[in-house]
Amino acid sequence: MTGRINQIFDKAFKRIMSLSPHAVIRFLNSLFEKSLPLDSSVTYLETETVDDDMKKMIADTVLTVTVPDGTVEKFQIEVQIDNDESIVVRIFRYGLADALKYRTSCDGKITLRLPQPRIIYLEHTAGTPDEAVLEIIFPDEKIHTYKVPTMKLLSYTVEELAKKDMAILLPLYLLKLRKEIGKKPTKENGQALKELIEGKIVKALYESKDAGEINTDDVKTLSALLRKLYDYLYGGIEIFEE
């Protein structure tokens, strides 16, 4: 079940990251604490590579943002449902594979630039870290600490996410009641789910559109995604059919 739900929400996140550049840049500015101009261009990079064992490695999202003055910044975002200590190793491998693909050379020196990484935990526990850490020890015994900050989606309210320019993540917020409803669906938690969707998520999406933070097409895409994720998580529960 965990593997399947990870795949579904990975795909959902990739769809979210294909929204209007305006909405995506606002989100990146918040997640990475940047101030990228909203008229910057966004380019999505190929995330599939092959390792030395001929196995495919696919990162969630790697993209570049080019600001009007020509400056380029590259970002790597991974979404994760459950705690996984090894995720920092995978992120480093994905980032290194991307850096090798786009390496530069000058005067006999090769330069590798890793993307700026983040992990978004769609669900979290008390043991979910604020940052994932990998120590790399070079042959000269110098240690480089590779740190990946994390965001815990459900630690925020719907209103807080919208205020932080992260309204595009709101379809993923359907996970908020997943574990409670999974234990025992009731009319009460069904009503709570309805209030979460209609009274908070949908309301926040339209308020974000009215504020100019996302556009009409973004809202249509996010609304359709919200419906699909609802069907996947809760569509088979008879007590919720009405």
pLDDT tens-digit series, residues 179-231 = 999 999 999 999 999 999 999 999 999 999 999 999 999 999 999 999 999 99
Res 46: pLDDT: 63
pLDDT band at 241 (very low <50, low <70, confident <90, very high): confident
Res 216: pLDDT: 97
Flag whether pLDDT at 32 surpasses 80: yes
Average pLDDT on 92-97 reads 94
**Is the full-model pTM beyond 0.75?**
yes
Strand order of the β-sheet with 61-66 is 41-44, 61-66, 72-80, 116-121, 143-152, 131-137
User: How far is it, in rounded angstroms, from Cα 87 to Cα 131?
Assistant: 11
Res 5: pLDDT: 87
What lies within 8 Å, CB to CB, of 117 at 6+ separation is: 75, 76, 77, 78, 91, 95, 148
Flag whether pLDDT at 54 surpasses 80: no
Res 242: pLDDT: 64
Average pLDDT on 16-40 reads 97
